[in-house]
Structure 1
Amino acid sequence: MLFTPGPTAVPPEVREAMAQPQPNSAVQPEFAERYDRLCRNLQQIYDTDHDVIVPGGEGILGLEAAIASLVAPGDRVLCVSNGIYGDGFADFVADYDGEAELVSAPYHEGFDLDAIEDALSADEEADEPFKLATLVHCETPTGTLNDLSPVLDLLDEYDVLSVVDAVSSLGGTPVPTDRIDVCLGASQKCFSAPPGLTTAAVSDRAWDAMEDREPTSLYTNLLPWRDTSDGFPYTHLDANVAALDVAVERVLEEGVESVIDRHERAAERCRQRGRDLGLSIYPDDSRSSPTVTAFHVPGEAQRIQQRVEADHDIVLATSLGDLADDILRVGHMGYNADVEKVDRVMDAIGDVIA
């Protein structure tokens, strides 16, 4: 039983779609029709009028490609962070010879709004203003759901483009996509499709900024996906597209609001069962994501993870970096946002703790 916060368990009908013979993405119009339908359906989940594209490549491709598509050497980027993936955006900026200014907060706290506003106001005096800012909606390693609205308000005030990693939140909780210039998702999280595809909602002004950026790459470049009417930039992952197409249709058949409610119920059950077992939630209930719960078990996470798998055949995740043995993560997202499945997982954790 795979209960990690991505890749998630994949429903049978999604696996079956992937196993079927696929049309050739280069020459058969059936593939383009499927791709276009998928993009239109994703717009409903993103709840946006922005263009939605689906490049071939795991979700990290989207994060890097957003930077590669927008950041030219010397461009200044404000990287807002309170976690590993927020920090990682600054590394991507450096890789493409941009100048990253990292505004960090402790991993157990929310964004530092005062520091963000200080950086933006000081930037008005700079010769080169910030071109864009990066944020993470759900910091999966700590289960933290960040409030984007106050930061987006500031970015609007200072006319700075926004790039948001919504990989672990999209499809499980509302995302203010229409306020974001590049909003990134991935197939293997709340959609419960296999890894291999990035999704991105891109605003008109983000496209314009990409047009002004002299491209240095084909693969890590979102711009060629703006218009695929004459073909795709490279051979697409036809079986992955078929799987994601079915996975997204499952979400729409259930109804986006119903899916979000299901995630909320699963998260609340997980946390209540954790509290009953005496477990602490990281960072706290008020800022925990509906898609993943992080239990703070200092020095015990890997032992519990291994025992749960060995004794109950359930695969959980620990955290990353310095918190790798301090946080045990339960990924109730997508297909696994189910109260009965959560109860089975928490019964296993309780048995191991006892």
Structure 2
Amino acid sequence: MTYYAELSPPPRTIMTPGPVEADPRVLRALSYPILGQFDPAFTELMNDTMGMLRALFRTSNQWAYPVDGTSRSGIEAVLTSLVSPGDRVLIPIYGRFGYLLQEIAERCGADVAVLEKAWGTVFDPEEVIAAIRASRPKLLAMVHGETSTGRLQPLADIGSACREYGVLFVVDAVATIGGVPVETDAWHIDAVIGGTQKCLSVPSGMAPVTYNERAERVLLARKKIERGLQGSVDSPLTGMHDGPAIRSNYLDLSQLQDYWSPARLNHHTEMTSMLYGLREGLRIALAEGLEARFGRHRLNEKALSAGLSAMGVTLYGDPACKLPVVTCVDIPDGIDGESVRSMLLRRFGIEIAGSFGPLKGKIWRIGTMGYSCSQKNVLHLLGAFEAVLTRHGMKLHTGAALQAALDVYENTEV
């Protein structure tokens, strides 16, 4: 008979772009007793969660709830629910996750047009607006914070143009929600997808989404077709009318919103414990205060960047559009990047990330997100990083990194 040891994951300091360390209060919430999904106590938790998500997304939308599944389930739910075969979809790409949006849209049967930008930069909003005028898509999908390159895309002017030209604007805010401002209403975003495992410090397993009445009209038109009803539900949005039924059952937002409505129409068995964790993560974020939380992320990024620069390594990408929650570092010539990552993990219990595609083997990516975004972690990482790089034969400004980071902490008002 085979015997297995009791589960005991090793303690880690996780400084990747996700997942990150879960807040201990979230882990405690995950252990609470199970409630039935239609128990009044549980449906009240559902209502609480929707209200807190509206505050987090900074929206007055009726619909703000989690899709059960990882962040990608939220992206797929939004795109499969809004995009019909043959719809024109515009996707500006400046990193790996823009290509993910392209792939999902193509799987929906969309006629996809892409704009591409060199990795390490972002789009000038006017470039995107010019493409909107030229192609007149039904939907524009963009990544807000691109973790593969550590860059942040400005969105406000793009959203205004989408509204002017009758285009649905969908944003992947998986990496930014809870750590960087996401102004759903002010930026005229029609649908936003967030993630739990990054700046919210909740385990992966839910994808918070929100969408407005413009998006809902598309859902309801497709729902009518699905049910075989007669008549037309035309939308004032350019080129939008009744389309084919939504192909997915599980990721059908029109059914999910019925489940999250007061009617509580049964769709699936809700992930009880994950909802506890999400609710607690949202409570923690709102209790800290969003502006204070954004400030904490900026402060630790500033200290980390100052320390790395003082150490003598080079930061990757255009600093004008740096993502505050991910810092990318060029791997120096002659240094084995994977060996450095392995030693950090093995000797110090610190995990940082490599990258993808054209940046594979060329940069390290260091996350300062959520519960992992702390002075303790930044100082621990800088000291360990200096030691490991020295061990790998790199000549550094020994001791300068920690002093530069301490200068930031001691001289920055919070």
Q: TM-score range by the shorter chain?
A: over 0.9
1:221 to 244, 252, 256: 252
Equivalence map 1:259-298=2 (5 Å): 259-297=293-331
Equivalence map 1:178-257=2 (5 Å): 178=185, 179-213=188-222, 214-227=245-258, 228=260, 229-231=262-264, 232-257=266-291
Q: Bigger shift: 146-155 or 172-181?
A: 146-155
Q: Bigger shift: 230-239 or 12-21?
A: 230-239
Count of matched residue positions in the alignment of Structure 1 and Structure 2? 348
Match status 1:100 vs 2:133:
no
Deviation at 1:37, TM superposition (A): 0.1
Partner Cα separation in structure 1 for residue 196 and residue 129 of structure 2: 34
Contact 1:143 1:293 in 2 (8 A): yes
Match status 1:326 vs 2:326:
no
Contact 1:152 1:162 in 2 (8 A): yes
1:294 alignment partner AA: C
Q: Which residue of 2 aligns with 1:164?
A: 171
Write out the 4+ residue segments of structure 1 that deviate beyond 6 Å after TM superposition: none
2:325 alignment partner AA: T
Q: Which residue of 2 aligns with 1:175?
A: 182
Match status 1:345 vs 2:367:
no
For the structure 1 residues 117 and 45, does the alpha-carbon distance in structure 2 shift closer, same or farther, using more than 3 Å as the test?
closer
Deviation at 1:112, TM superposition (A): 5.2
Q: Which residue of 1 aligns with 2:14?
A: 2
* Partner SS, residue 351 of structure 2: coil
1:47 alignment partner AA: R
Deviation at 1:110, TM superposition (A): 1.3
Determine what percentage of the aligned residue pairs are the same residue.
29
2:54 to 43, 48, 64: 43
Partner Cα separation in structure 2 for residue 74 and residue 209 of structure 1: 15
For the structure 1 residues 261 and 113, does the alpha-carbon distance in structure 2 shift closer, same or farther, using more than 3 Å as the test?
closer
Q: Which residue of 2 aligns with 1:307?
A: 343
Contact 1:58 1:197 in 2 (8 A): yes
Deviations 1:71-106 (A, max 9, x none): 111111001111111121111111011111011111
Partner Cα separation in structure 1 for residue 256 and residue 171 of structure 2: 18
* Partner SS, residue 55 of structure 1: strand
* Structure 2 length-normalised TM: 0.81
Match status 1:79 vs 2:91:
yes
* Partner SS, residue 92 of structure 2: strand
Deviations 1:177-203 (A, max 9, x none): 111000110111111001100101101
* Partner SS, residue 168 of structure 1: coil
* Partner SS, residue 141 of structure 2: strand
* Partner SS, residue 281 of structure 1: coil
* Partner SS, residue 162 of structure 2: helix
Match status 1:17 vs 2:29:
yes
Partner Cα separation in structure 2 for residue 224 and residue 345 of structure 1: 45
Partner Cα separation in structure 2 for residue 202 and residue 166 of structure 1: 13
Higher Rg of the two aligned structures:
2
* Partner SS, residue 364 of structure 2: strand
Partner Cα separation in structure 2 for residue 69 and residue 226 of structure 1: 12
Partner Cα separation in structure 2 for residue 301 and residue 151 of structure 1: 37
Deviation at 1:16, TM superposition (A): 1.1
Q: Which residue of 1 aligns with 2:140?
A: 133
Deviation at 1:285, TM superposition (A): 2.6
* Partner SS, residue 199 of structure 1: strand
Q: Which residue of 1 aligns with 2:235?
A: none
* Partner SS, residue 16 of structure 2: coil
Contact 1:52 1:200 in 2 (8 A): yes
Deviation at 1:114, TM superposition (A): 5.1
Q: Which residue of 1 aligns with 2:42?
A: 31
Partner Cα separation in structure 1 for residue 162 and residue 197 of structure 2: 29
Contact 2:125 2:154 in 1 (8 A): no
Task: Specify every segment of 5 or more residues in structure 2 that has no aligned partner in the other structure, as ranges.
Answer: 1-12, 223-244, 391-414
Partner Cα separation in structure 2 for residue 198 and residue 102 of structure 1: 25
Deviations 1:200-236 (A, max 9, x none): 1101100111222322111122222223223342111
**Alignment RMSD, CA only?**
1.5
Q: Which residue of 1 aligns with 2:407?
A: none
Partner Cα separation in structure 1 for residue 279 and residue 126 of structure 2: 42
Partner Cα separation in structure 2 for residue 64 and residue 282 of structure 1: 30
Task: Specify every segment of 5 or more residues in structure 1 that has no aligned partner in the other structure, as ranges.
Answer: 124-128
Contact 2:91 2:114 in 1 (8 A): yes
* Partner SS, residue 62 of structure 1: helix
For the structure 1 residues 256 and 115, does the alpha-carbon distance in structure 2 shift closer, same or farther, using more than 3 Å as the test?
closer
Q: Bigger shift: 108-117 or 344-353?
A: 108-117
Contact 1:7 1:195 in 2 (8 A): yes
Contact 1:301 1:324 in 2 (8 A): no
Partner Cα separation in structure 2 for residue 109 and residue 255 of structure 1: 30
